[in-house]
Amino acid sequence: MRLKTLSLLVTTCAVASGVFASAAGAATIGGFGARPAHFNPEHPATRAYFIRSVPRGGVFADSVIVTNSGNRPITLRVYPVDGLTGATSGVVYGNRQDKLHGAGLWVTPDTSTVTVPANSQLTVGFTVRVPNGASVGQHLAGLALEDARAGKSTGRFSVTEVLRTVVGIEMTVPGPSQMRLNLKSFSIAPIQGTTYPSVVVNLANTGTTLCKPTLAVALTGPGGEQHATRRLDTVLPGSSIPYPFVWPHSLSAGSYAANITATRCGPRQVLHGSASLGAKLVNSTVPASLTHASGGGSTIPWWPIALVGFGGIVVGTLFGRRRRGPSSA
């Protein structure tokens, strides 16, 4: 039997606009953590992540305090990452291997690696340079610190664990701002690997600010009219996602007309359309938590993670001889 490798990425984040981890302190995982070295006492969230207004062509420098609560030194990789919208809304961050396309390009750490002594802390600086052609509005990047030692178990089934912490850097480029969500299309499909029904709504944040929209969906088809409403997590400006709106009722095969409304993200948006379902989808065993939006501190609802067998953490998997990088977290 060939050795199979499972690559596991565990990330703790400090995120923007109320969707980040606790604003009271550092983002901590695996015995090390990081927090802003400077904060605004009148804005408690800045204890956990950076919030800056920076004009086009502007530059600012700051630093994070990195702590090591372990009994031996730890070496960390330091690198910038893009802030992204997760598949089910909410903020996630790119991986170290991912090419930067967004605000992560603006961030330059003072060093690429740092060794923190046991039971100690030190400061790591970074500089942000906003390009002259930056678009008006909110932009999100992150400064990631990743354990350079990838722990690996022994045996026929090997697990590689990568630990990192990310401190968010939210930047606003001043100018006329707009909050707007665009509803593109929808379909009816089961949640992958299950018979749980979902209405997949393709949406995009076409405005300049982060927002948390509310979706209200009315389906009319076999069995009459059904309604459901859900508050999404953060959708970043310029991002598009196919949001899987877990449906709280069983759906019979047949044709459905949909009326989808989005609010709390700029002007009210409405999408009308129709879709066909080839087989019945039942929700008799859908956990209650699947039919409700995730809570405030979570960047990714737990159910997609549970479907691949790892509830509560973001994982990337690889089986076979070639090793790929871990998935976004």
Question: Is residue 82 domain-resident?
Answer: yes
Question: Is residue 313 domain-resident?
Answer: no
What are the pLDDT tens digits along the chain (329 aa)?
Answer: 233 334 455 566 554 433 333 334 556 566 899 999 999 999 999 999 999 999 999 999 999 999 999 999 999 999 999 999 999 999 999 999 999 999 999 999 999 999 999 999 999 999 999 999 999 999 999 999 999 987 666 666 677 778 999 999 999 999 999 999 999 999 999 988 888 999 999 999 999 999 999 999 999 999 899 999 999 999 999 999 999 999 998 999 999 999 999 999 999 999 999 999 998 998 755 555 554 444 333 333 333 333 333 323 333 333 333 333 333 33
Task: Say if CB 103 and CB 171 are below 8 A apart.
Answer: yes
User: Do 46 and 185 share a domain, yes or no?
Assistant: no
For residue 142, give the CATH number of its domain: 2.60.40.10
Q: What pLDDT is attached to residue 329? A: 35
Total structural domains within the chain:
2
Burial class (CB in 10 A: 0-12, 13-18, 19+), 64: buried
User: Do 27 and 74 share a domain, yes or no?
Assistant: yes
User: Do 142 and 171 share a domain, yes or no?
Assistant: yes
Range of the domain at 55: 4-176+299-307
Q: What pLDDT is attached to residue 310? A: 31
Tokens for 197, please give them.
């029904």
Q: What pLDDT is attached to residue 294? A: 40
Question: Is residue 124 domain-resident?
Answer: yes
Rounded to two decimals, the pTM is 0.80
Type of residue numbered 122: L
Q: What pLDDT is attached to residue 296? A: 35
User: Do 194 and 241 share a domain, yes or no?
Assistant: yes
Question: Is residue 315 domain-resident?
Answer: no
Question: Is residue 321 domain-resident?
Answer: no
Q: What pLDDT is attached to residue 93? A: 96
Strand partners, 225: 220
User: Do 95 and 145 share a domain, yes or no?
Assistant: yes
Q: What pLDDT is attached to residue 295? A: 37
Question: Is residue 221 domain-resident?
Answer: yes
User: Do 11 and 40 share a domain, yes or no?
Assistant: yes
First to last CA, the chain: 31
User: Do 170 and 32 share a domain, yes or no?
Assistant: yes
User: Do 153 and 45 share a domain, yes or no?
Assistant: yes
The CA R_g of the chain, rounded to the nearest whole Å, is 21
- Gap between the Cα atoms of 97 and 95, Å rounded: 5
Q: What pLDDT is attached to residue 309? A: 32
User: 303-312: which pairs have CB atoms within 8 A and are 24 or more residues apart?
Assistant: 303/191, 303/246, 304/87, 304/88, 307/191, 307/192, 307/193, 307/194, 310/8
Question: Is residue 322 domain-resident?
Answer: no
